[in-house]
Structure 1
């Protein structure tokens, strides 16, 4: 078949010619307007400048003949190719073919070609020689575009629905994972609390004394740290209390603090003088724990007379709150375990009368945003405020008051001892 060449001088003429040609060739509506739009973009500049363009078309023919093949096509509708060439004979430069709705092949010079597969007409096909008018063709394309938009809108709604279901599933999975993580955290916390209970002995039951303790780790789910205490009754009936704060956090500091409490207990039960125990503990532990550094406070208390004796190794001072609310810090100079020249420089002696409250603690209780003295003053006010509460509630109540102002999280021990009038019917524990 001979190609047909038409000279065109306007965009309207180019669009009209292409639409009629595509309709006669049986081109689907979407390919028809893509071809018309692509040719318009290629030739628009030339026609706007008043330079004509040439539209060359080769009617569809069987694909095997077009490709020079003698093989028979399989059964099915016969298919051919509509060839459309657009020549720009007067263009000063080659046209751009980037981003066309229907991609084109570049020909030598200033021409482009489209090869579009189309079904070949058969004897039963309606006649395509008399296409409808241009308005009808445009309406057909518009209708196809609207159908396409509707289909895309339906696809969009479907995808939104699928996405919503996916998001819902992901959210449900996220909630399940959060619940599982919380369960694991709670289980971890229970294990740590059991470990803490094993490391921290319960209060000693001695007629004439009420004792309670509160421990709070630096982090809710963190392992137990280096703040420990120990209390027990000596053979002479006095109560010994040890409070230790080992450097660091976690299980390593816990091991160090345990070493200190065990060494102090052994030395105390062997009968070593209280003023020598801090230094002797350093001697005992220095041989196998070279990194150990810990502050320590030792207290001896006679529950019958209320006599109080205190030794200190770099530890915060104890707080004594009298029954009438008067308070004082029991300060003793000394250096802790692992410090240069460890030991308590002297012993401090005082007396605990009925109703008096003794507060022992680690520095996590009094560290504040200002200086340590300010923390000690707040501690005295909190202890006075809560001194008449049941002894089991006093340490935690003091800690709650103190932790409203805090410099940084730290392990905390708050230990309280209150002297009461002994019931003569009770025996020593």
Structure 2
């Protein structure tokens, strides 16, 4: 262990540099230790207060070694630089000393001088002192350290560029993967939608062609993700030529409500074809289905229309009333009280009978058409005025036109169904 006192930053840096050089430290490590000790001692030395450097080198049995440099600062001197932020971190002790422990190469070079031969000591006590290096030699060492630092910086910059390039390629690949996944997801959604729409079309009754009668329907699900819902219709001709129409709105959305609506329409169709009176069909449908599924709940509107006489009969089970728009624009709701399938005391309280004249328009619908606003009464008023406005259009255009006009400003989405019936004028 050898110690020396220094009064100028230049002298300290030269001594540290020579110690590092004597122990064959790489230029980059040499630069770090010189800068670290210089920055730590700068405050005291610039103020004219000397510092003490103690150097010790130790050799291990395995050929490794360690160089320990201890910088003693004047009493009361604060370390101006945080030791963990130095080019080479040091360890500050309680007595004001900062210590650096630097690993030495595995096999130190034979020419490596001992610490005592490098640090300046009083002339009478020096042993094996090397000749002082010239200013040019010191500058050459500084240049070597600077070149090492620049080489390190260039290497890091090159690595940074490579990482940025790799990251850009990775991001490009990830983006391409996201695009592929999104395209695949979109294809699956479309395929899913096509499948469900095909299922929905399979559930719809076949077009009904009756002389002197126009029928048209429009259906829209609550969401494109669930293109089937609980709104369903059925129409067919009874043996006596009367046209039967069923409008069903099953509780809920999606496939489950579709199954409920389909079950109800099939039960109604069976009862109607068996000849049961219109006023009994709602109650009988509930009685048939309740033992099999007590969770079935649906509203329904039933209509019988004689296409020759125009006689119209309506039965209702908790469903919105039918809207009748006369050829001259007079309009009214055909109110019939009743309770739907799955409701307490199900059944239609009566059958409403009226006459549909030539060019009159009958609108049957589900509540999604009128209850998309906050006030259902407002929806009914808008439906009436809208139906009046579109009554002169061809029957096949009326349901979709009414639905578009009614659903321009929707507070909540719901399945919607609109069905139009019109008796044609003779010769049309």
Does the residue aligned with 2:396 lie in a helix, a strand or coil?
coil
Residue 114 (str. 1) matches residue 98 (str. 2): no
Q: Classify 1:22/1:191 alpha carbon distance in 2 versus 1 (closer, same or farther; 3 Å).
A: same
Contact 1:6/1:56 (<8 A) preserved: yes
Query: Residue 238 of structure 1 aligns with which residue?
Result: 242
Contact 2:231/2:415 (<8 A) preserved: yes
Cα offset, 1:185, TM superposition: 0.4
Query: Which of 243, 247, 251 in structure 2 is aligned with 1:247?
Result: 251
- Structure 2: how far apart are the matches of 1:402 and 1:202? 27
Residue 215 (str. 1) matches residue 213 (str. 2): no
Task: Provide, for residues 228-258 of structure 1, a one-character-per-residue CA deviation record: whole Å limited to 9, x for no partner.
Answer: 1111100110100010111112222222222
Does the residue aligned with 1:413 lie in a helix, a strand or coil?
strand
Query: Residue 76 of structure 1 aligns with which residue?
Result: none
Contact 1:106/1:113 (<8 A) preserved: no
Q: Classify 1:368/1:221 alpha carbon distance in 2 versus 1 (closer, same or farther; 3 Å).
A: closer
- Structure 2: how far apart are the matches of 1:90 and 1:122? 36
Give the TM-score of the pair, scaled to structure 2: 0.84
Query: Residue 37 of structure 1 aligns with which residue?
Result: 35
- Structure 2: how far apart are the matches of 1:138 and 1:89? 25
- Structure 2: how far apart are the matches of 1:113 and 1:306? 108
- Structure 2: how far apart are the matches of 1:154 and 1:111? 35
Provide the aligned C-alpha RMSD in A. Answer: 3.0
Taking the TM superposition and a 5 Å limit, the aligned residue runs for 1:300-311 are: 300-311=304-315
Query: Which of 280, 283, 286 in structure 1 is aligned with 2:284?
Result: 280
Query: Residue 225 of structure 1 aligns with which residue?
Result: 229
Query: Residue 175 of structure 2 aligns with which residue?
Result: 171
Query: Residue 102 of structure 1 aligns with which residue?
Result: 88
Does the residue aligned with 2:266 lie in a helix, a strand or coil?
helix
- Structure 2: how far apart are the matches of 1:168 and 1:46? 55
Taking the TM superposition and a 5 Å limit, the aligned residue runs for 1:75-94 are: 81=65, 83-88=67-72, 91=75
Structure 2: which 5+ residue stretches go unaligned? 112-129
Contact 1:208/1:420 (<8 A) preserved: yes
- Structure 2: how far apart are the matches of 1:89 and 1:311? 104
Residue 67 (str. 1) matches residue 60 (str. 2): yes
Choose 127-136 or 410-419, whichever is displaced more: 127-136
Query: Residue 126 of structure 2 aligns with which residue?
Result: none
Residue 325 (str. 1) matches residue 329 (str. 2): yes
Contact 2:197/2:227 (<8 A) preserved: no
Query: Residue 362 of structure 1 aligns with which residue?
Result: 366
Choose 114-123 or 306-315, whichever is displaced more: 114-123
- Structure 2: how far apart are the matches of 1:199 and 1:120? 90
Contact 2:53/2:72 (<8 A) preserved: no
Taking the TM superposition and a 5 Å limit, the aligned residue runs for 1:19-30 are: 19-30=17-28
Query: Residue 415 of structure 2 aligns with which residue?
Result: 411
Does the residue aligned with 2:333 lie in a helix, a strand or coil?
strand
